[in-house]
Amino acid sequence: MQISVSRDVFRLAQVFTISRGSRSEARVLTVKVSDEGVTGRGECVPYARYGETLENVTALIEGLQGPVSRAALYELPAGAARNALDCALWDLEAKKAGRRVWELAGLPAPGPEITAYTLSLDSPEAMRAQAAKNAFRPLLKIKLGTPDDMPRLEAVRAGAPKSTIIVDANEGWSAEVYADLAPHLVRLGVALVEQPLPAGEDEALIGMARPVPVCADESCHDRASLAALEGKYDVVNIKLDKTGGLTEALALRREALARGYGVMVGCMVGSSLAMAPATLVAQGAMVTDLDGPLLLAEDRDTPLLFDAEGVHPPEAALWG
């Protein structure tokens, strides 16, 4: 078995801004696992918030010794390196078996899922213009996370009066800011609030009124995260770059649902190759947020199909 890692850069259609900074391109790692003349592929997006860089994730992958299996990958930390390897192994197994990944995983054949489209953090005027341009989309996600977010929220609602709106604060609010905003979120018809408080300070959510469902993102990585979420969150955001791949993402989904959480399936800003495995986890999810390719100016060959029905499962030529 041979493993290779390469870096790929995809230009964004426009500058993308969240509370932690801006970017104009997506920098990803593509992992290929080859065995008996067959190659499987996976993609990950190392994320600085979790101490990951292109360099240290590459070193972790290239430092693996001997044959690699999906079970053995659990010796690696949940994160980008394990994600790309796990997804590449699923792709390899499917190609060698001549079957689709969902068949191998015992899942029903997937279909399209409506996905959120993300509006990046900007001035209220610019965000209203973004919202108006995308008002035809049924689900919009707004990047917020500053003490002065009310004008932005009002502007987006004015620009897209019929769209369902979800909000992502990216850990940018304090408990006081969130408490002040909560009634207005209800008034403006916000359907979900994602990670309003920093992951290390979310104890403040215990006992706090949650008139809008609150979703754990940075506070939820894998199944081991679930115990600490009780009483704080209503929904968990499953991202393969956090769980460490499709294997753990499917397991996290099962356990989260069993514990009574709603499920959101999200993504980092990556290509269709990164989103492809996540479409399987997104089946029937409360919220699907796999819009990474929609934010790009360029994508992989055989990209995912996005249309009025949502994001479609991948063709075999892309993954799985």
* Catalytic residue list: 143, 239
Answer positive or negative: Cα dihedral of 253, 259, 260, 261: negative
Assigned token pair, 279: 């479409």
Answer positive or negative: Cα dihedral of 252, 253, 258, 259: positive
Assigned token pair, 293: 């390719």
Residues 6+ away with beta carbon under 8 Å from 275: 267, 290, 292, 293, 304, 311
Q: Give residue for tokens 């900074």.
A: 21
- Asked whether the beta carbons of 70 and 90 are under 8 A apart, the reply is yes
Sheet containing 21-35: order of strands: 2-18, 21-35, 38-44
Q: Given the DSSP bridges, would you call strands 117-119 and 38-44 parallel, antiparallel or unpaired?
A: unpaired
Q: Given the DSSP bridges, would you call strands 214-216 and 190-194 parallel, antiparallel or unpaired?
A: parallel
Of 75, 6, 84, 74, nearest in space to 47 by CA: 84
For residue 311, report the phi and psi dihedrals to the nearest 5 degrees. -90, 130
For residue 295, report the phi and psi dihedrals to the nearest 5 degrees. -90, -5
Q: How far apart are CA 109 and CA 92, in angstroms?
A: 19
